């Protein structure tokens, strides 16, 4: 496999940098993504080739029953594996909820609210620790207040991208990338602290209510050089006003 172009100095990759650089180096040396992830100390699941997933077997149920994560040799599954390594309690909890929903309702044309929300957050979620005025403006989708008027307060804020599909897309950043932030302040001193906190809050009842709010991630101060020019935030296709 060819090595991927990943800027590990980017702020959104910082929580994953330590294992990410090691796993990426193994892939560059010829290991499969499953082998490279599995070489980490005490992985929370076995990482297996995608071919281990039987035809017709639901992906989530296979992980739950086999404690093994089918993995393709691509950037999407690379970041999914890194999230398993960094946030194992939350990944396991989301998988338990998905498997329980499958056991209760089967596999149909619609996944239902719990599975939909779990998948959405697993693919596109993020966590935020920030002062109250930032939260108030974020929930109101008052982008000018959030990113311009309150800009100095962002020095006291932390953001962690959880969704592996969003991490994959951030390898080639574009302006309209938007995270679904868990709509509750999260302690982010360490990934372990965030993992323990979030795993306790992942319940079927909470997920069914979709406790998320949108955040255009490249609007975060110091995350993208172009947002230093405040006219960058005038793009209403990205920074959409809240519903009245």
Is residue 109 within 8 Å of residue 71, measured between CB atoms?
no
| pLDDT for res 111 | 78
Is residue 90 within 8 Å of residue 162, measured between CB atoms?
yes
47 and 69 housed in the same domain: yes
| pLDDT for res 243 | 62
N- to C-terminal Cα distance for the chain? 50
100 and 134 housed in the same domain: no
- Which of the four pLDDT bands, split at 50, 70 and 90, describes residue 244? very low
Asked, for residue 101, whether it belongs to a domain, the answer is: yes
CA distance 171 to 177: 11
In tens, the pLDDT along 108-156 reads 767 789 999 999 999 999 999 999 999 999 999 999 999 999 999 999 9
Instruction: Express as a percent the part of the chain with pLDDT over 70.
Output: 97
Tokens of 182: 């868990």
Is residue 98 within 8 Å of residue 112, measured between CB atoms?
no
- Which of the four pLDDT bands, split at 50, 70 and 90, describes residue 2? low
83 and 185 housed in the same domain: no
Asked, for residue 1, whether it belongs to a domain, the answer is: no
44-52 long-range contacts, CB within 8 A, separation 24+: 44/84, 44/85, 44/88, 44/91, 44/92, 45/69, 45/84, 45/88, 45/92, 47/71, 47/81, 47/84, 50/77
Asked, for residue 239, whether it belongs to a domain, the answer is: no
Asked, for residue 32, whether it belongs to a domain, the answer is: yes
Q: Which domain does 162 fall in, by range? A: 121-234
224 and 138 housed in the same domain: yes
126: three-class secondary structure by DSSP = strand
In tens, the pLDDT along 158-204 reads 999 999 999 999 999 999 999 999 999 999 999 999 999 999 999 99
61 and 132 housed in the same domain: no
Number of domains in the chain: 2
Q: What is the pTM of this model?
A: 0.95
């Amino acid at each position: 496999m060819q090595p991927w172009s990943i800027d590990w100095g980017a702020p959104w990759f910082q929580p994953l940098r330590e294992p990410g650089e090691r796993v990426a180096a193994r892939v560059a040396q010829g290991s499969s993504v499953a082998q490279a992830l599995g070489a980490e100390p005490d992985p929370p699941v076995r990482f297996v080739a995608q071919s281990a997933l039987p035809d017709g077997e639901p992906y989530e149920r296979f992980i739950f029953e086999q404690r093994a994560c089918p993995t393709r040799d691509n950037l999407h599954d690379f970041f999914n594996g890194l999230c398993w390594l960094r946030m194992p309690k939350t990944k396991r909890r989301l998988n338990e909820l998905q498997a329980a929903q499958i056991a209760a309702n089967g596999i149909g044309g619609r996944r239902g609210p719990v599975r939909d929300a779990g998948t959405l957050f697993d693919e596109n979620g993020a966590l935020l620790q920030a002062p109250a005025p930032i939260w108030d403006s974020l929930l109101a989708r008052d982008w000018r207040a959030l990113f311009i008027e309150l800009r100095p307060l962002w020095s006291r804020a932390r953001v962690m991208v959880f969704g592996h599909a969003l991490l994959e897309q951030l390898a080639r950043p574009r302006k309209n990338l938007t995270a679904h932030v868990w709509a509750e302040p999260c302690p982010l001193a360490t990934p372990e602290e965030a993992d323990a906190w979030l795993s306790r809050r992942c319940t079927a009842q909470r997920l069914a209510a979709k406790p998320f709010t949108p955040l255009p991630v490249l609007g975060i101060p110091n995350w993208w050089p172009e947002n230093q020019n405040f006219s960058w935030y005038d793009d209403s296709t990205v920074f959409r006003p809240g519903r009245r």
